[in-house]
Structure 1
Amino acid sequence: MLAVKVPKREAEKVRRKLIDLGVLAKGYAVKREGEFILFPVTGPVEGFELVEAEFERLERKPHSYREVVEVPDEVRGLLPSSLDIIGEVAIIELPEELMPYGKAIGEAILKVHRHIKAVFAKGSKISGEYRVRELIYLAGERRTETLHRENGIRLKLDVAKVYFSPRLATERMRIFEKTHPWEVVFDMFAGVGPYAVLLAKKAKLVFACDINPWAIRYLEENIRLNQADNVVPILGDVRKVAGKFEADRVIMNLPKFADRFLREAMLSVRDGGVIHYYGFGPEEDLFSEHEAKIKAVARELGFGVEFRGERKVRPYAPRQFNIAIDFQVLK
């Protein structure tokens, strides 16, 4: 096939130009001949030396495990399009009909995502005081501890012992961008510290509370990993911690039950401080019920509230969304 022949020192510049011109042939490996590089092209290119050459075809890499997994046609349409990747661990939600093919699905995920070492299926919903779920082993190594990287920080955790969602990385960065260097932050349900450790890079001080001893153990390790010495880990019930200090910003990342802790959040924020509240809402009316609860608790305490922003964070279930409400407390 037709090729452009250039000296090695000019190869990268020429490659970019061929891409810009739309003439670089896709699916072929470039060829080296002594001090020259040969690029396959789809037609003549003015201003370059053209030669005839044979090129090795590149094997197309699959983009999804669904392209390589072998399951019966009658259940192929049930294969999930998404999975959670936490460090070197992948967690996928499989309908009952696909569970007999769990091993094949797990091995397909390992084949496509080479950095993943272990694959599990969700065995139950998140439940209990510690917000954890049962996991079913599918393929790879039988381990649940991993090191996850996001937003420039490292987080060590065990996916079987603590709650963690990689899908909130963008939301965590949104709060980071709103935080000021002089602020004291209270992370009421801190987990292993994805909010707390990130915000510590910008805030003056971060109080991070969780009732799960495993979460605090990993939080303490993540403080060391990221040199986040301005994070204060607190093991215990947030009800007993609330009101013992005054924060400029409070994070309530407990969407299923956050409304039960609004009183504690408002008692812990200074006059004019901001609370980031998370909940679940139906598509037809995402925010009204949560707004009403926020206003009711504020009235009980004799406070005022001013809503500063509302947004859909991510889909949670059919016609249900994880939502965020930012509001200011006026005392």
Structure 2
Amino acid sequence: MLRLLYRVFASVQSENTLKAAGVYSSFCSAASLPASACSGFAVNPTMEHKLYQPPPEVRGMTSLDKEAFTQTVTVPALRVPTGVLNKVVKSLKKATIQRPGVPRVVQDKEESSDFRLVLLDPNRVTSSSSFSEAEAEALRSFSVPEELHHYELRLTYHNLKSEEVLEAVLPQGQDVTSAFSRVGHIAHMNLREHQLPYKNLIGQVIMDKNPGVTCVVNKTNTIDSTYRNFKMEVMAGEENMVAKVKENGVTYEFDFSRVYWNPRLSTEHQRVVELVNRGDTVFDVFAGVGPFAIPAARRGANVLANDLNPESYRWLQHNCKLNKVEKKVRAFNLDGRAFVQGPVKQELPELLKGKAGVHVVMNLPALALDFLDAFRGLLHQEPPCEEKLPTVHCYGFSKDDNPETDMVARASRSLGFPLKDRCSVHFVRNVAPNKDMMCVSFTLPKEVLFSNDQEQTESSEEPAPKRQKCEEATDST
């Protein structure tokens, strides 16, 4: 439902307009996305800031001159006796000025120690009639006249929001964005072509306006499908790419420029890990730095985690030690297919004799569906049917109008076995207006796991005697 709403919104307005209207932030909240996934704010270039009108000379600035943004503006104010000051400010909290570094209460211009001026938001209050009934009643109860005074307020660069600065600098008519993903001390942006001449200024503004951000980077190409990392250039700050992040109570460290990490997936990591019980075994085919593997190990699972990228493998081992689960996780540096046909194949026969669950996580959305054929005929000896078969959680991207159907069809083709009515499909997130990330989960069919390619069929039917035996075994449990 959320995916459909997003597509409807995207078809009539740009993402920037949605964010400016507050729709995007509401969507993030409704989708249970973490705050780090929705960092920053994108601004509609037609937005007006009544309080601050930037000087025309800052337009086109590529090297940040903070002094050029200084401006004096007139704001409304109330003259309030000091004895009731705190009560008045509390009653007018929605009407007072809200701006970085700007106090809501200032010295009375007449310099009387008995009064203070409470500064009001000029977008909210333009006359004494602007107060709500409750606000007006509060002022009367405190014997505060509703007469508005005027106060000359000096605004500097430090009092401006990042979107105000960027809107003032970038060309009119172009979209303006200060949105980014936060990874530890790193702010990661995806700038568009027309924003590139201003990249250093944008980076400096983002760093100035977001405490704790000491490095701002821009992605310069698409993710490499082999190692799942992308080249980045530093726009501002230190060239320190080793980030430390905390997700769902687990700490991770890694070189962000050399491994794959997406802060928007924390909810999905938690969803799948919560399906794992103590004593289960988890095979993480594309483990990265461990966002599935390590939480699963902390829940008491035995984990075999693999990644082809040597850097991911190194940081996976590091994070296992960091979180004290190195004895619960065996790490591998193999191709995904080699991992399935090697360690997975070696471990499965014994695991299938037990009662504990087995999970296979395949989080490489660009390619994971194509690796499902590695399970065809993986094992030679078919166990009794009552034994528990592995549950596979395989991720993929879909641009189809019906992504659920698309995912099932593609997974079925790769397995050589129909999954319709034998799987579930979970919407993870919207990657672009016409591109969704999905997860298809299913019990690995024994017709796939214990058959050779020559024996694969498009039918899920079993010989009658075997099917009957399984039904009898099911009824007896």
Q: Which residue of 1 aligns with 2:427?
A: 312
* 1: CA distance, partners of 2:188 / 2:293: 24
* 2: CA distance, partners of 1:104 / 1:249: 47
Letter in 2 for 1:146: A
**TM-score, normalising length: structure 1:** 0.79
Letter in 1 for 2:283: F
**2:285 touches 2:339 (CA, 8 Å); kept in 1?**
no
Matches within 5 A, 1:121-136: 121-136=218-233
In the alignment, structure 1 residue 155 sits paired with structure 2 residue 257: no
**1:103 touches 1:138 (CA, 8 Å); kept in 2?**
yes
Give every structure 1 segment of 4 or more consecutive aligned residues whose post-TM-superposition deviation is greater than 3 Å.
Answer: 1-6, 22-31, 40-46, 48-52, 59-63, 264-268, 296-300, 303-308
Secondary structure of residue in 1 paired with 2:346: coil
From the two aligned structures, give the one with the greater strand fraction.
Answer: 1
Greater C-alpha radius of gyration: 2
**Deviation of 1:294 (Å):** 2.2
In the alignment, structure 1 residue 241 sits paired with structure 2 residue 329: no
**TM-score, normalising length: structure 2:** 0.57
* 1: CA distance, partners of 2:443 / 2:437: 20
Q: Which residue of 1 aligns with 2:392?
A: 275
In the alignment, structure 1 residue 180 sits paired with structure 2 residue 180: no
Matches within 5 A, 1:1-331: 1=78, 2=80, 26-27=96-97, 42=135, 45=138, 65-69=162-166, 70-74=168-172, 76-77=174-175, 79-80=176-177, 82-229=179-326, 230-242=328-340, 243-246=345-348, 248-264=358-374, 267=378, 271-299=388-416, 307-331=422-446
Letter in 2 for 1:217: R
CA deviation string 1:18-70 (max 9, x = no partner): 57xx7676445589xxxxxx9x7955659x98889xxxx9x89766x323225
Letter in 2 for 1:236: L
* 2: CA distance, partners of 1:180 / 1:258: 24
* 1: CA distance, partners of 2:339 / 2:392: 16
Secondary structure of residue in 2 paired with 1:74: coil
Letter in 1 for 2:372: L
CA deviation string 1:161-197 (max 9, x = no partner): 1111111111111112222223111111011111111
Letter in 1 for 2:187: A
**Deviation of 1:72 (Å):** 2.9
**Deviation of 1:135 (Å):** 0.7
Q: Are the structure 2 counterparts of residues 231 and 67 from structure 1 closer, same or farther at C-alpha, using a change threshold of 3 Å?
A: farther
* 2: CA distance, partners of 1:306 / 1:202: 30
Q: Which has the higher contact order (CA 8 A, sep 6+)?
A: 2
**1:87 touches 1:148 (CA, 8 Å); kept in 2?**
yes
* 2: CA distance, partners of 1:29 / 1:209: 55
Letter in 1 for 2:393: H
Structure 2 unmatched ranges of 5 or more: 1-77, 98-102, 107-115, 119-133, 146-152, 349-356, 380-386, 447-477
Q: Are the structure 2 counterparts of residues 274 and 30 from structure 1 closer, same or farther at C-alpha, using a change threshold of 3 Å?
A: farther
Q: Are the structure 2 counterparts of residues 314 and 81 from structure 1 closer, same or farther at C-alpha, using a change threshold of 3 Å?
A: farther
**Deviation of 1:141 (Å):** 0.7
Q: Are the structure 2 counterparts of residues 206 and 67 from structure 1 closer, same or farther at C-alpha, using a change threshold of 3 Å?
A: farther
Secondary structure of residue in 2 paired with 1:161: coil
Structure 1 unmatched ranges of 5 or more: 32-37
Letter in 2 for 1:105: I
The alignment-based identity, stated in percent, is: 27
- Count residues in correspondence: 311
Q: Are the structure 2 counterparts of residues 265 and 104 from structure 1 closer, same or farther at C-alpha, using a change threshold of 3 Å?
A: farther
Q: Are the structure 2 counterparts of residues 149 and 3 from structure 1 closer, same or farther at C-alpha, using a change threshold of 3 Å?
A: farther
Letter in 1 for 2:164: E
Q: Are the structure 2 counterparts of residues 113 and 299 from structure 1 closer, same or farther at C-alpha, using a change threshold of 3 Å?
A: same
Q: Are the structure 2 counterparts of residues 316 and 25 from structure 1 closer, same or farther at C-alpha, using a change threshold of 3 Å?
A: closer
